[in-house]
Amino acid sequence: MKKTVYFIAGDGIGPEVFKAGRPVIDAAVAKAYNGEHSLVWEELLAGEKAYKETGNYLPQETLDTLQSAELAFKGPLATPIAGGFRSLNVTLRQTLDLFACIRPIRYFEGIESPVKRPDLVDMIVFRENTEDVYAGIEYASGTDEAKRLLEFLRDELGANVDVSAGVGVKPITEKGSKRLVRKAIEHAVSQGKPNVTLVHKGNIMKYTEGAFRNWGYEVAADEFADSVVTEADAKGETSKVIIKDRIADAMFQEVLMRPQEYSVIATTNLNGDYISDALAAQVGGLGLAPGVNMNQTLAFFEPTHGTAPTIAGMDKANPGSIILSGAMMLEHIGLNDAASLIHAAMDKAISGKKVTIDLVNQMEGATAVGCTEFGEILASYL
């Protein structure tokens, strides 16, 4: 199998983490499959490089290629400060309708963590990426729009609301909820995960968060009846994926106290934003956090960090997040053996205690190496 991966190197530390990270991803594939499978990397322009070469931060050609692509990878993109330019990341997500933001969180032995048993955390968060209070329907207190909307709510719908309020709208659709939960269950089934938890605040927001929960159970019953069972029906041990739900506030307590009971999390946009950072903190921070944004056809992998402008060009950045995003991509296309090699290499590199400066600060007795050298160390452990 030869797979084309379109990539945007990105701004700031993007090009250097790519340069150090890409050979590790390729080497893992070569080692695992002896040339039977390979990746073909094709560069697309976006960000500062695109601006220099074309006068446009996000050329139409890049968007057109991504519209019909299956796999893509991006480094971080700076939001240009001048001219009130919109975030390129938000533009990409919206234009390509990348509705699922997926972040796996697991512990690497040796990294300092604020909890006693970070090793029990092995979860993957599926966060809805397009709806909820992120839809951008929000009006400032005292504006004509806010007043008109609030007066309508008060006068026409009988809502008990102060018309001087600032106001935001929280749309949650059946389509948006179901396609997100479908992805989460598909992942659990294909990767042999034990359970999927629908995280919501449906006890308070019945017709948005509660509806998300109900639509989630509906997808499970209608489309995955052979492979899943609800927690209520499971009655003890089962070989099927268990579908359960938890109210968001309780879930924050659960992931701290009983992380081993949770595997795949499917949740709405705002809950997902909070819980992915909270879980990352449980295992020692965002430094080694990979991610992907997906629509129905495209899986667009990216590290979760930004352009780190203060260390850009200094060979100090950690290429770990990009390399782990690469491992996610390999799992996505079924090259699980190559992905496992990367995970094992990362474990060994961290226990070897020669790591980039960001990790040195989180580990006892570690020494700092540069971005390039850390990539080489990882490759040597494959």
Residue nearest to ligand NAI (CB): 306
310 binds ligand NAI (CB under 6 A): yes
77 binds ligand NAI (CB under 6 A): yes
76 binds ligand NAI (CB under 6 A): yes
Token pair in block for residue 126: 């599926």
31 is catalytic: no
- List Cβ neighbours of 118 (8 Å cut-off, separation of 6 or more): 107, 111, 282, 283, 284
Residue 317 beta carbon to ligand NAI: minimum distance, rounded to whole angstroms: 4
Token pair in block for residue 133: 């209070």
**Partners of residue 368 on adjacent β-strands:** 355
The binder of ligand NAI chosen from 27, 302, 329, 335 (CB under 6 A): 302
6 is catalytic: no
DSSP 129: -
Residue 47 beta carbon to ligand NAI: minimum distance, rounded to whole angstroms: 9
Rounded Cα gap, residues 294 and 254, in angstroms: 27
State how beta strands 122-128 and 100-106 pair. antiparallel
Minimum CB distance to ligand NAI smaller for 181 or for 355 = 355
The binder of ligand NAI chosen from 9, 24, 66, 89 (CB under 6 A): 89
Where do we find the tokens 């090009």?
15
Rounded Cα gap, residues 36 and 33, in angstroms: 5
349 binds ligand NAI (CB under 6 A): no
Restricting to residues 134-153, which ones interact with ligand NAI according to CB under 6 A? none
Restricting to residues 8-67, which ones interact with ligand NAI according to CB under 6 A? 13, 17
375 binds ligand NAI (CB under 6 A): no
Segments in 137-257 forming alpha helices (H): 144-155, 174-190, 209-223, 231-234, 248-257
Cβ-contact 177, 193 below 8 angstroms: no
Residue 36 beta carbon to ligand NAI: minimum distance, rounded to whole angstroms: 32
Which residues here bind ligand NAI, judged by CB under 6 A?
A: 13, 17, 76-79, 89, 302, 305-311, 317-318, 321, 356, 358
The residues annotated with a catalytic role in the active site are: 134, 201, 249, 273
